[in-house]
Amino acid sequence: MDVGCFAIKVTLLFLSFVVHHRGIARGGGCDLYEGKWVHDESYPLYDTSQCPFIEKEFDCLKNGRPDKDYLKYRWQPNAVKGKSIMFVGDSLSLNQWQSLTCMLHVALPHAKYSSVRTGGLSTFTFPAYGAKVMFSRNAFLVDIVSTNHGAALMLDSIEGGNLWKGIDVLVFNTWHWWLHRGRQQPWNFIQVGKATYRDMDRLVAYEKALSTWAKWVESNVDPAKTKVFFQGVSPDHMNGSDWREPNAKNCEGQKEPFFNKRGNYKYPAGPHPAQLVVEKVIGAMSKPVHLLDVTTLSQLRKDGHPSVYGHGGHRDLDCSHWCLAGVPDTWNQLLYAALLKSYLKPAS
């Protein structure tokens, strides 16, 4: 079985989770066990000729069974009312959302789907399954408010959180825009309470904003109904010295991951400072928030960015976002594993 088939099978499991996780949460999982066998050309899951220790009496093909259709059936649980997943954040959340919607579509190529964008909200739906995978563009999580003095970045205010309520799985992310300055900076000053600042240390501002987000989660999320994840910090690759290649100015021309010759998986530049802030804030919360700790594994993928191929080739340089297919697909596989683990926990 090739890697593509494996990815499809993981995605089908993900979809099964999206439409059946209530059954898993009950412990009995009856929804998963009611369904039908459907023909699937990507099966079987493995080739017994590559499994040298299989018992002879189980290896039907080797023992001469002439038909092979019995290998091509996959269990498909009955579809029930689906659930909703929402990615909330900047264009790195868009990166992950598009990865997941592509994986789902490829896994179910004949299933009808809709993809609708209204303002800053994009919604991908499988009507037959009732499953929704949404992306809400919100680069800072906290509010930006227009005033007589310009746009204020309100580090202690989240008015846009009503959109997040009632969602089954929330996946938050913010960092990319906190470093923007000049024309790319969408605010004119920072406000905390009645105090205003022309600027401040961006990591300090980031921690204040994340603390506001954490308070929103503590006040508005029922863990029995909604699972909350934080995507972690997606790194860029703008400085070759970060991976011990000082002659490389950025990610352009990189063709393989960073492999540490010392035999470990540590990234030479060390932990990402924003990730340390995320860990600090989440670690102080009383309600469960699962950190998708994708920072280090993504730091190793200096080769995974669009580079000069993000807009038809050589018009600009992008060492922040990720090619698709690519690294965000792994983020989603880890998200699925974390979701399954959270719902399989025994009731306390």
Write the CA distances from 78 to 15, 173, 244, 344, integer angstroms: 12, 33, 52, 20
Provide the pLDDT confidence category of residue 160 given band limits of 50, 70 and 90: confident
For 288, residues 6+ apart whose C-beta sits below 8 A from its C-beta are 223, 228, 342
Read off the pLDDT of residues 113-144 as tens digits, 9 standing for 90 and up: 999 999 999 999 988 777 899 999 999 999 99
Provide the pLDDT confidence category of residue 30 given band limits of 50, 70 and 90: very low
Provide the pLDDT confidence category of residue 31 given band limits of 50, 70 and 90: low
> Which amino acids are annotated catalytic?
91, 318, 321
Element (DSSP H or E) covering residue 227: strand 227-230
Q: Residue written as tokens 């025994």?
A: 346
pLDDT at 13: 57
CA–CA dist 321, 305 (Å, integer) = 6
pLDDT at 27: 40
R_g of the chain, CA atoms, integer Å: 23
Read off the pLDDT of residues 246-290 as tens digits, 9 standing for 90 and up: 999 999 999 999 987 766 678 888 999 999 999 999 999 999 999
* Averaged confidence pLDDT in the chain: 86
CA 167 to chain centre: 16
Reading the block at residue 1, the tokens are 């079985």
Show the CA angle centred on residue 172, arms to residues 166 and 174, nearest 5°. 145
Provide the pLDDT confidence category of residue 26 given band limits of 50, 70 and 90: very low
- Closest by CA to 282, choosing from 220, 228, 343, is 228
CA–CA dist 225, 15 (Å, integer) = 19
Write the CA distances from 125 to 136, 260, 265, 267, integer angstroms: 15, 41, 38, 38
Provide the pLDDT confidence category of residue 156 given band limits of 50, 70 and 90: very high
Reading the block at residue 210, the tokens are 């994340």
pLDDT at 22: 42
Burial 59-68 (b: 16+ CB within 10 A, else e): eeeeeeeeee
pLDDT at 314: 60
CA–CA dist 185, 153 (Å, integer) = 10
pLDDT at 198: 96
Mean pLDDT, residues 320-344: 88
β-pair partners for 324: none
Q: Rounded to two decimals, what is the model's pTM?
A: 0.83
Q: Residue written as tokens 């059936």?
A: 73
pLDDT at 259: 85
Reading the block at residue 131, the tokens are 């499953």
What is residue 208's DSSP assignment? H
Provide the pLDDT confidence category of residue 11 given band limits of 50, 70 and 90: low
Mean pLDDT, residues 319-344: 88
Read off the pLDDT of residues 62-120 as tens digits, 9 standing for 90 and up: 999 999 999 999 877 665 456 899 999 999 999 999 999 998 888 777 888 999 999 99
CA–CA dist 306, 240 (Å, integer) = 16
Provide the pLDDT confidence category of residue 29 given band limits of 50, 70 and 90: very low
Provide the pLDDT confidence category of residue 40 given band limits of 50, 70 and 90: confident
Element (DSSP H or E) covering residue 242: none
Residue 20 has pLDDT above 80, yes or no: no
For 267, residues 6+ apart whose C-beta sits below 8 A from its C-beta are 242, 243, 258, 260, 296, 299, 300
CA–CA dist 40, 181 (Å, integer) = 51
pLDDT more than 70, % of the chain: 85
- The larger pLDDT score, comparing residue 75 to residue 60, is at 60
pLDDT at 143: 97
Residue 170 has pLDDT above 90, yes or no: yes
Which residue segments constitute the domains of the chain, with CATH numbers given? 79-344 (3.40.50.1110)
Read off the pLDDT of residues 183-198 as tens digits, 9 standing for 90 and up: 999 999 999 999 999 9
